[in-house]
């Protein structure tokens, strides 16, 4: 079992390099070449990192898995542009995950700003203003 592709996810995916950003943890998503467990995702804590090992799936399977697991924070991986590109996610696909963003917890409302910005921009990118707005929200929820 080896990683095919690894993505930085969580707040670091959006805010690394912004003055004043101090991440509380390091989150990584690893798409694995083999996945001998029944579930599609396995969460591990390794040397100060939260590592999410994932079965290698197509975009439809990733979307179905996220909706079926009913864990709103699963939306975060779909907001990472490199992951979205890797699975071929479109803005129309992202909109299928609306129920997750609608139920996101208070500490992750910055992801709602990112989600809404992507929809508005019709692409997986943020303007500097949108990035700053989402970072401000991130900081406000972590005081």
Who has greater pLDDT, 22 or 122?
122
What three-state secondary structure class fits 106?
Answer: helix
**For residue range 17-73, what is the model confidence (pLDDT) as tens digits?**
999 998 888 999 999 999 988 999 999 998 889 999 999 999 999 999 999 998 999
The pTM is what?
0.95
Helices marked H in the chain: 12-15, 59-69, 75-79, 81-87, 91-95, 98-102, 109-121, 128-140
Domain count, the chain: 1
**For residue range 72-121, what is the model confidence (pLDDT) as tens digits?**
999 999 999 999 999 999 999 999 999 999 999 999 999 999 999 999 99
Q: Which domain holds residue 131?
A: 3-140
Q: CA 118 to CA 112: how far, in whole Å?
A: 10
């Amino acid at each position: 079992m080896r990683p095919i592709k690894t993505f930085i996810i969580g707040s670091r995916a959006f805010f690394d390099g912004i003055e004043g950003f101090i991440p509380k943890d390091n989150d990584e998503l690893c798409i694995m070449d083999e996945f001998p467990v029944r579930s599609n995702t396995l969460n591990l804590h390794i040397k100060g990192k939260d590592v999410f090992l994932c079965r290698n799936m197509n975009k439809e399977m990733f979307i179905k898995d996220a909706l079926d697991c009913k864990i709103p924070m699963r939306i975060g991986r779909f907001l990472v542009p490199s992951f979205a590109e890797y699975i071929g996610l479109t803005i129309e696909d992202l909109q299928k995950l609306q129920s997750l963003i609608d139920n996101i917890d208070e500490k992750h409302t910055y992801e709602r700003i990112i989600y809404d910005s992507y929809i508005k921009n019709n692409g997986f990118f943020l303007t500097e203003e949108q990035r700053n707005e989402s970072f401000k929200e991130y900081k406000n929820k972590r005081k």
